[in-house]
Amino acid sequence: MSTPPIIEVAGVGKRFVVGKAEAVALQDADLTIHDGQFVSLIGPSGCGKTTLMRLIADLIEPTEGSISVAGKTPRQARQDREYGYVFQAPALYEWRSVLANVMLPLEIMGVPKAERKERAVRLLDMVGLESFHRSYPWQLSGGMQQRVSIARALAMEPKILLMDEPFGALDEITRETMNFELLRLWQETKKTVVFVTHSIAEAVFLSSHIVVMTARPGRIREVIEVDLPYPRDAETRESERFFELTTRVREALRIGQAAANSQSAGGATSSRAVTESAAD
Amino acid sequence: MAVEPGVREGDNLVRVLAQRVLPILAVLAATVALMYPVALWLGLPLARLRMENLANWITTTTAAHPLSEAPSAGSVGAPAGTRLTFGAFDEIIDDAGATVRGGASRDVERLMLVRGGEPVAADFSVDDEGLVLESAVEGALLTWGQQLEGPLDDGHVFRFADPNDVGAPIYLNGRLLEAGAVDSVERADGASATFTFPLGNGPVIVAGEVVVEGAGFEASGAGVVLDRAPPFNASVRRMTGDYAVLDAAAGTIALAEPSPTAPRAATDVLALAELLVGPVDGNNRVFYLQHTPLVENDPARRLMLDGRELSATAERPQERVDGERASFTFAGERGVVTLNGAEVTEGRDFTRQGNVITFRQPPVRNAQLRQYQDYLVSDPASGAVTLAVAPQPGERLWAASYTYYDRPACGATELECFFSMPQHPMPFPHWIAQRIGPFLTAYPFADSRNVVRATIYTAGGTLLALLLGGLVGVLLAVVFVAVRPAERALLPWVIASQTVPIIALVPVLLLLLGNVGVTVQTSLVPATLIGAYIAFFPVAVGTVTGLRSVDPLALDLMKSYAASPLEVFWKVRFPAAVPFFFTSLKLGTAAALVGALVAETESNNRYGLGYAIVGQVQAGNVSDVWILLIISALLGIGLVALVGGAQRAFAPWERR
């Protein structure tokens, strides 16, 4: 990759205090994401995907290690609105119409009213919701709500789009449609996307790079580069290379999980796991 | 896909009616129908009590019954075989045998002829229409007295020149006029013009004035509706006979049928009188009047022994009954002696020397000792009269006049008494419905007693209470959510405030307000404060819940936007709390109305609905109380609907 790094994660760990015990959510994470990449985080539940995203977004602070986002501390990056965040749930504000939801971040940024509206309308057009400006969130289907959520994240015109399982709650057909649309959006806007998913196929189809993570404790196991050419379409899913890559990701997940299980057998989330050596 | 809000396809008015309105109406109809048996269940026992209470009976004064036809002028005496008829003869033979004691039947043993207060010696036989003389009667059968003056108006009112003659038999065109009038069932309250009477269909006498049907009242079912409401406590009577006394002191009477000529009074007229029933054997002192039960304190009671009127005067002893004294002095030398109401017997209990009686045992201290000169009504229920001296054979004991309880004024059956009750513990729903119009329009709108005005007034108080309570509730909620220590310090007190019964709180508040110069009888302040006191609590609790109901993701999102705390409050927490606020405000509305009503009740706020309720309860106007209850309920529903409307306006995003 010739582009400069935009997110750098170095030796980052995160522990949560649960009652008297400590849970290790993430350990020794090192990751560099370059500008314009589409990076998927994949791994079983509890592998720290979401934790890593929230650390990058400065919604939580790391216990150890350092993170840099767009060359700044995460806090500075958040205050400069360098990223847009899309949650697993649409998290729309139910008292605002679709248009007003998209305009909300712009209101907070202090964008003039006319421009707010112009930008929101443009983004809603882009996600195919041009006829639903006045609808309230409960009047939309799950997929449409998630599209509003993406439009809202894009409204701030961030350099980075953080997407935490945005299509996790959708059915398979809607999900595939959304995948196409997301790819199209990414190619149009040339943003850096960090994308959390449970689905191997989705990760391979969308990403330029796949970060495979393992659980207990959460670690980055491997970064796989996906060399499928863009633009990708339905045929991409049927290509041989696609199957090879999915198999490789599946293997990496399986081996990583087996190693993690053998290491922590008997003590699920013990803090002692911190001292275990990396499986790489 | 988008879900279309609003009416579903295929809905039409008929289906909406059938599915939503009909069930509600069915429940309403069932409730209304259920009120009828409940009304009977509650009312019939009261009707029975009313019927059994002698105070509610019509009293009838029966006197010697004069000849019903004046004999032709100049006729003196009547030979044997003459048929004579008497006024109210039905009444004489009415309960023949029913209450008669001592074996007397409805004939000569119960009846006798009298004239001028003296028995007339004559034999006769009795049949259904009258009697037939079996021996001749000497002397004039009737002596004419004065002609009455009048008519004093269009033919109804006449006057005795000598008011002392009021009550003497009067004849018009040779025919006896019967007196009779009954009091109305209802008391004149100064406002109502509707009255019912146990019987009678003649003119109505209002406070001594004759009112004729069609020119002063209209008959309406069992009652009459007067053109003008009589003044408070005015006597309202209806004529049941041929005439009624208007004013005994002035000597005026009113005829039921107008007449151009004045009736004429008779001084001495042959009359048929009741004999008291009992063996006249020289020993028996207990006799029975034939119409019972007797009215005990009866100024009209005149019992005669032959030509002498017996006295029922009660004498007190000259000495105090101190528990030691045994001899007592009375004014008279004979009489029935009673001790604490029970007769004591000469010879057995006491001895008599002149007007001094001496008991064998001194009567207990403060015992009531009386001597009744000639007789004593010993048992009003059975009509028993105890004489001081037993009549001798040949003497005749008869009643010139006396008063008895005839029948319940309310009607002959429990059901009749139920329907004639002026107020019911639970009125029939259609009676309530009939009252709505008159009740709502009883006073002009400008009058503070107007019910619509009172309703608006109370609604205003409740709305002010909601405004104040809502404001306080929201402020508290914001403080609680923003400052945790404030919640820990204040919440227990806020909860405790709601455990204070408002009925105990209101008087204290009224005292305080009175002392700071608020006229609680006319001010909205008490209702507002009490209503707000109750309403703020659900609002505070609901709003706190609402402010805390925000999705954590929504807060994370705001954090990712680097929003300030104030922006988080105004753009997320506040709108999220709006539906909770309105829902809790709806709860508070019903409570605030209760608070306002209680405050009005206790402060005697004469502009409000609470005061109206208390007033109608105290006046015993049960139907009106029910109407006020319904109005209060509708007001509550209306206010809640108003808050619901505000909710729709301020939180249009809510799913419905």
pLDDT tens digits along B215-253: 888 887 768 888 888 888 888 999 988 999 888 888 899
* Strand-pair partners of A194: A39, A162
pLDDT at B108 over 60: no
Indicate whether A124 belongs to any domain: no
Using alpha carbons, list the distances in angstroms from residue B464 to A201, B197, B507, B598. 63, 49, 20, 15
Dist CA B156 CA B263 (whole Å): 11
Does B167 score more than 90 pLDDT?
no
A118 touches chain B (CB under 8 A): no
Per-residue confidence (pLDDT) for residue A236, from 0 to 100? 86
Overall average pLDDT of the B86-94 stretch: 69
Domains of chain B: 59-143 (no CATH), 146-269 (no CATH), 286-408 (no CATH), 451-650 (1.10.3720.10)
Shortest CA distance to A56 belongs to which of A85, A90, A98?
A: A85
Whether residue A64 contacts residue B528, with contact meaning beta carbons closer than 8 Å, is answered with no
Crossing angle between the packed helical segments B429-440 and B622-650, to the nearest 10 degrees:
80
Q: Is residue A46 part of a domain?
A: yes
In a domain, A127, yes or no: no
CATH code for the domain in which residue A46 is found: 3.40.50
On the question of pLDDT at B385 being above 50, the answer is yes
Confidence class of residue B6 from pLDDT cuts 50, 70 and 90? Answer: very low
Residue A270 lies in a domain: yes
State the greatest distance between any 2 C-alpha atoms of chain A, in Å, as a whole number: 60
Closest CA to B606 of B466, B453, B463: B453
Residue of A nearest to B655 (CA): A138
B574 contacts in chain A (CB < 8 Å) = none
Nearest-Cα distance to chain A for B549, in Å, is 12
Cα B556 to Cα B356: distance, rounded to the nearest angstrom: 113
Of A87, A97, A140, the CB nearest to B553: A87
Instruction: Name the residue of chain B whose CA is nearest to A100's CA.
Output: B571
Q: What is the pTM of this model?
A: 0.69
**Confidence tier at A180 by pLDDT (50, 70, 90):** confident
Helix (H) or strand (E) holding B209: strand B209-211
User: Residue B604: which of B594, B596, B618, B614 has the closest Cα?
Assistant: B614
The kind and range of the H/E element at A86 are strand A83-86
**pLDDT score of B41:** 94
Residues of B in contact with A97 (CB under 8 A): 653
Closest among B425, B455, B312 to B371, alpha carbons compared: B312
Pairing of strands B356-359, B350-353: antiparallel
Q: A177-181, A228-232, B73-77, B364-368 — which is least confidently predicted?
A: B73-77
In this model, does residue B95 exceed pLDDT 70?
A: no
Closest partner CB to A85 (pick from B2, B560, B567): B560
Residues of A in contact with B556 (CB under 8 A): 54, 59, 85, 87, 91
What gap in Å lies between CA B249 and CA B254, rounded to an integer? 14
Q: How confident is residue B140, by pLDDT bands cut at 50, 70 and 90?
A: confident
Amino acid (one-letter) located at B101: R
CA angle B33/B36/B40 to nearest 5° reads 160
Q: How far is A95 from chain B (nearest CA, A)?
A: 5
Q: Is residue A216 part of a domain?
A: yes
Chain CA centroid to CA B163, Å? 34
Contact B355, B331 (CB under 8 A): yes
Backbone angles phi and psi of B243, in degrees to 5: -150, 165
DSSP 8-state symbol, B150: -
Q: Do B561 and A109 touch (CB under 8 A)?
A: yes
Strand A160-164 and strand A83-86: pairing? Answer: parallel
Would you call B18 helix, strand, or coil by DSSP?
helix
Q: CA A148 → CA A257, B275, B347, distances in Å?
A: 35, 110, 118
Residue A228 lies in a domain: yes
CA separation for the pair A74, B561 (Å, rounded)? 13
Q: What tens digit of pLDDT does each residue of B584-605 get? A: 999 999 999 999 999 988 888 8
The confidence band for B93, taking pLDDT boundaries of 50, 70 and 90, is low
Prediction ipTM score: 0.84
pLDDT tens track for B300-355: 899 999 989 999 889 999 999 998 899 999 988 888 999 988 888 888 889 998 88
H/E stretch holding B45 reads helix B22-52
The H or E element containing residue B622 is: helix B622-650
**Mean pLDDT of the region A106-116:** 90
Please report which confidence band the pLDDT of residue B91 belongs to, taking 50, 70 and 90 as the band edges. low
10 Å CB burial of residue B307 (0-12, 13-18, 19+) is: exposed
DSSP state, residue B583: H
* Predicted local confidence at residue B75, as pLDDT: 64
pLDDT average, residue stretch B462-487: 93
The Cβ of residue B127 has, within 10 Å, a number of other Cβ atoms equal to: 10
Residues pairing with B379 in the sheet: B384
How far does A86 lie from chain B, in Å, by closest CA?
Answer: 9
Residue B563: closest CA among chain A residues belongs to which residue? A108
Closest CA to B153 of B225, B246, B236, B240: B246
- What pLDDT sits at residue A255? 84
- Distance from C-alpha of B614 to C-alpha of B633, rounded to nearest angstrom: 16
Kindly state the average pLDDT of the residues B286-295. Answer: 88
Inter-CA distances, B36 with B46, B417, B427, B429, Å:
16, 16, 8, 7
In DSSP terms, B356 is beta-bridged to B329, B353
Q: What is the least distance, in Å, from the CA of B481 to any CA of chain A?
A: 20
Q: Is pLDDT at B97 greater than 90 in this prediction? A: no
Amino acid at B137: V
pLDDT higher than threshold 80 for residue B89: no
Q: Confidence class of residue B73 from pLDDT cuts 50, 70 and 90? A: low
What is the least distance, in Å, from the CA of B536 to any CA of chain A?
25
Looking at every residue in chain B, the average pLDDT score rounds to: 86
What is the pairing mode between strands B369-372 and B264-269?
unpaired
Cβ atoms of B304 and B398 within 8 Å: the answer is yes
Of all residues in chain B, the percent with pLDDT exceeding 90 is: 30
B394: its two tokens? 């040949």
- DSSP-assigned states of every residue in B411-477: -SSHHHHHHH-SS-SS--HHHHHHHHHHHHTSS-TTSTT-HHHHHHHHHHHHHHHHHHHHHHHHHHH
Angle between helices A172-189 and A142-155 (to 10 degrees): 20
The confidence score (pLDDT) of residue B92 equals 63
Chain B CB contacts of A81 below 8 Å? 561-562
Range in B34-48, B109-123, B231-245, B345-359 the model is least confident about: B109-123
Residue A56, domain extent: 5-81+161-166+209-275
- Contacts with A59 from chain B: Cβ below 8 Å: 556, 559-560
Structure tokens at B417: 């008494």
Q: Which residues of A touch B557 (CB under 8 A)?
A: 85, 87, 91
Q: Name the one residue in this structure whose structure tokens are 């849970």.
A: A23
The model's pLDDT over A118-166, given as tens digits with 9 standing for 90+, comes to 999 988 888 888 889 888 998 898 888 988 998 898 888 888 999 998 8
Biggest CA-to-CA distance, chain B: 130
Report phi then psi at B34, rounded to 5: -70, -25
Q: Please answer whether residues B444 and B642 qualify as being in contact, where contact means their C-beta atoms are separated by less than 8 angstroms.
A: no
A38 located within any domain: yes
| Rg value, chain A, Cα | 19
Q: Judge contact between B314 and B370, C-beta under 8 A.
A: yes
* Structure tokens, B516: 């700071």
For residues A163, A166, A168, A174, the Cα torsion angle rounded to the nearest 10 degrees is -140
Return the residue in B564, B573, B653 with the most chain A beta carbons within 10 A, the one to mutate for interface testing. B653
Contact A194, A161 (CB under 8 A): yes
DSSP code at position B165 = G
Determine how β-strand A192-197 pairs with β-strand A38-42: parallel
* pLDDT confidence of residue B101: 42
For residues A160 and A82, the answer to whether their CB atoms sit within 8 Å is yes
**Binary contact (A95, B562; C-beta < 8 A):** no
Identify the residue among B3, B559, B560 best suited for mutation to test binding to A, counting A beta carbons within 10 A and taking the highest: B560
Counting residues of chain A whose pLDDT is more than 70, the rounded percentage is 92
| Amino acid (one-letter) located at A40 | S
- Cβ-Cβ contacts under 8 Å for B95 (sequence gap 6 or more): B290, B291
* Total structural domains within chain A: 1
Task: For chain A, give the mean pLDDT.
Answer: 84
Q: Is the dihedral of CA B640, B646, B650, B656 positive or negative?
A: positive
The CA–CA distances, whole Å, from B282 to B311, B389, B544 equal: 20, 9, 99
* pLDDT confidence bin for A276, thresholds 50/70/90: very low
**Minimal CA separation from B643 to chain A, in Å:** 19
Residue A263 pLDDT: 64
**Mean pLDDT on A13-38:** 86
Cβ <8 Å between B560 and A87 = no
**What residues 183-242 of chain A have any CB closer than 8 A to a CB of chain B?**
none
Cis amide leading into B526 (omega within 30): no
Cα–Cα distance measured from residue B32 to residue A263, given in angstroms and rounded to the nearest whole number: 77
Residue A99 counted as domain residue: no
Which comes out higher in pLDDT, residue B108 or B570?
A: B570
Q: Given an 8 Å threshold on Cβ–Cβ distance, is B562 in contact with A81? A: yes
Q: Which of B393, B373, B391, B370 is nearest to B287 (CA)?
A: B391
Confidence check: pLDDT of B174 > 90: no
Residues 6 or more apart in contact with residue A83 via CB below 8 angstroms: A56, A57, A69, A77, A158, A159, A160, A161, A162, B560
How far is the C-alpha of A242 from the C-alpha of B439, rounded, in Å?
87
Task: Look at residue B98 and tell me whether its pLDDT is greater than 50.
Answer: no
